[in-house]
Structure 1
Amino acid sequence: MKIVVIGKSGQLAAELNQLLGDEAVFLGRNDVDITDQQALASVLLAHNPDVIINSAAYTAVDKAESEPEEAYKLNASAVINLADICRLNRYFLVHVSTDYVFDGTKGSPYRTDDVIAPQGVYGKSKAEGEKALLDSLPNQSCLLRTAWVYSKYGNNFVKTMLRLMAEKSELKVIDDQIGSPTWAKGLAEACVYAARHRSAGVYHWTDEGVASWYDFALAIQEIGLEKNLLTNKVPIHPIPSSQYPTPAKRPHYSVLDKVSTRKAFADVGLQHWRKQLADMMSSFQSEKQ
């Protein structure tokens, strides 16, 4: 099976590269403009893959509010292009979306068939990409929604917290946004499984368990101290979202229901977010040494 991964620089692409290596072709922004359908079709036809994994996205949630055109180009137009090309050439497409397609007001885990109601530009652009994919390629694609992704690669909440905990005498972290932290390595494993097994449908992939950003920060500090990634414990204070305003509104509760995922991806296996965080930080510690 020949796999092409769209994206080279992001957290997910980096984890996919660790998993697949030379088994896949990785196409970055210098290799092809995925918003140019003709150029994209030409490059993909030259590689003639069986499956495409799309790990490229505009993920700067707050910046999207002032750069809507850029967000829609990558999160919607590019997906439309990929879906059209895959339909015409019978490629299978694995595409990653987000909890931000939901408004966060439900109060219980969002099912894959719940009505989407994105609030900001980022969520709306990702929702438009989802719609294009499901309209054009419903039986020839796997849509994986995820949330709160982190990795030892790139910029993310875990690495930011470790840096701030080393620099600051105390921290304030939001405690009224609830979700599920997700190690990008597990998400990458799910993408590869979906690619190899052509797991068509809509699925939710996050690590098991639920946390607030405050809970997540406490765990990062605890494990960071255990693994000597941190030397001193600093006070971490919970605060409401109202004390930390951002350009984009975040969903207050975006836990994703994974009933169908546990069955369809049983061979991959979902793990609790604390175990995944500890494993990622062990890997990060080894790399730093």
Structure 2
Amino acid sequence: MTRILITGAGGMLGRDLQTALADRAVTALADRAVTAATRTDVDITDADAAASAVAGHDVVVNCAAYTAVDAAEGDEEAAHLINATGAENLARASALHGARLIQVSTDYVFAGNATTPYAEDAPLAPVSAYGRTKADGERLARAAHPDGTIIVRTAWLYGEHGPNFAATMLKLAADRETLTVVDDQRGQPTWTADLAAQLVRLIDSPITSGVFHGTASGETTWFGFARAVFEEAGLDPDRVQPTDSASFVRPAPRPAYSVLAHSAWAENGLAPPRDWRAALHDAWRGGVFSSVASGSRPPLR
């Protein structure tokens, strides 16, 4: 029996991870038990609470995070408490109870000024409060449990169970004839269901430590992503117009380049994440955006 604890289980990724684990249990592995803990169930910023929650588990997947990127600029202490101290508490607890920790991190740990995909061992150089707190979470978790912490960095997430860029584009499409979207930030749109599947592969593997990039393969801009969403919805992609980041100034700087490399998957005998466009197509076909598409969804094709 593999006993798995998911913290942050009420979020978009946490909910898809529960589904992925349940599906695998039916089709492949029945000998697993999952504890899904929301932030009201477990306060990971409390060391004693974290230790108590981890006890009796073999794998901990930390999906809990302070993700309000702009708000973190004015409240870095609160973000650090969840993203860094919380990760350290879970790592210490995992070391104490002999569990593996999978710590979900972010592309924001990098400066975002590269021109080629960031390798897993690229130096951390965050330029925002959110990025600094997530980078500290990586460092503290690995220091507390060096032989049992796996870091999985992801970015540009979308899915069924939470607010996200793709859903926002569909909502705006119902009210506006044209939209302007930045075309000078590059990244990898990542379906949370696909990331959940990659996390399950790690859980099922004998891997105990390392760094993996859990973004989709390929790359595009927010503008390209928005046009693809319109295409899947059967809408005219020319309604999406390009602009630059100067038109959308925000408190936290956004990485201009958030493309991550995926070599660690193959090096450990695991399949890398699939292409972002194929994933978006399947997400649409699966009805992920049906609640916001307002009937615009065409027949399956």
TM-score for the superposition, normalised by structure 2: 0.89
Among candidates 255, 260, 274, match of residue 277 of structure 2: 274
What is the letter of the counterpart of residue 3 of structure 1? I
Counterparts of 1:144 and 1:270, CA distance in 2 = 12
Q: Which SS does the other structure have where 1:4 is aligned?
A: strand
Counterparts of 2:289 and 2:95, CA distance in 1 = 43
What is the letter of the counterpart of residue 287 of structure 2? F
**1:151 counterpart = 2:159:** yes
**1:2 counterpart = 2:3:** yes
Q: Which SS does the other structure have where 1:284 is aligned?
A: coil
Counterparts of 2:142 and 2:8, CA distance in 1 = 21
Counterparts of 1:72 and 1:161, CA distance in 2 = 31
8 Å contact kept, 1:205–1:261: no
**1:243 counterpart = 2:210:** no
Q: Which runs of 5+ in 1 are unaligned?
A: none
* Partner residue in 2 for 1:220: 229
Change (3 A) 1:145 1:285: closer
Counterpart mapping for 1:50-199 below 5 A: 50-199=58-207
**1:30 counterpart = 2:40:** yes
Q: Which runs of 5+ in 2 are unaligned?
A: 23-31, 296-301
Larger mean Cα displacement after TM superposition, 143-152 or 60-69:
60-69
8 Å contact kept, 1:77–1:129: yes
* Partner residue in 1 for 2:50: 40
Counterparts of 1:206 and 1:265, CA distance in 2 = 17
* Partner residue in 1 for 2:257: 253
Q: Could you give the per-residue CA deviations for residues 122-153 of structure 1, whole angstroms, max 9, x where no partner exists?
A: 10000000001222222212111111111121
User: What is the percentage of aligned positions where both structures have the same residue?
Assistant: 38
> C-alpha displacement at 1:196, in angstroms?
2.1
8 Å contact kept, 1:100–1:123: yes
8 Å contact kept, 2:6–2:36: yes
Q: Which SS does the other structure have where 1:58 is aligned?
A: coil
8 Å contact kept, 1:147–1:180: yes
**1:206 counterpart = 2:207:** no
What is the letter of the counterpart of residue 31 of structure 1? D
Q: Could you give the per-residue CA deviations for residues 152-185 of structure 1, whole angstroms, max 9, x where no partner exists?
A: 2100001011111111111010000001111111
Counterparts of 2:155 and 2:190, CA distance in 1 = 6
* Partner residue in 2 for 1:15: 16
Q: Which SS does the other structure have where 2:251 is aligned?
A: coil
8 Å contact kept, 1:208–1:272: yes
8 Å contact kept, 2:198–2:273: no
8 Å contact kept, 2:10–2:37: no
Cα RMSD, aligned residues only: 1.7
> C-alpha displacement at 1:265, in angstroms?
5.5
Change (3 A) 1:56 1:265: farther
Q: Which SS does the other structure have where 1:62 is aligned?
A: helix
What is the letter of the counterpart of residue 144 of structure 1? V
8 Å contact kept, 1:58–1:71: yes
What is the letter of the counterpart of residue 215 of structure 1? G
Q: Which SS does the other structure have where 1:142 is aligned?
A: strand
Counterparts of 2:172 and 2:290, CA distance in 1 = 20
Q: Is the helix fraction higher in 1 or 2?
A: 1
Q: Which SS does the other structure have where 2:167 is aligned?
A: helix
Counterparts of 2:52 and 2:242, CA distance in 1 = 51
- Matched residue pairs, number? 281
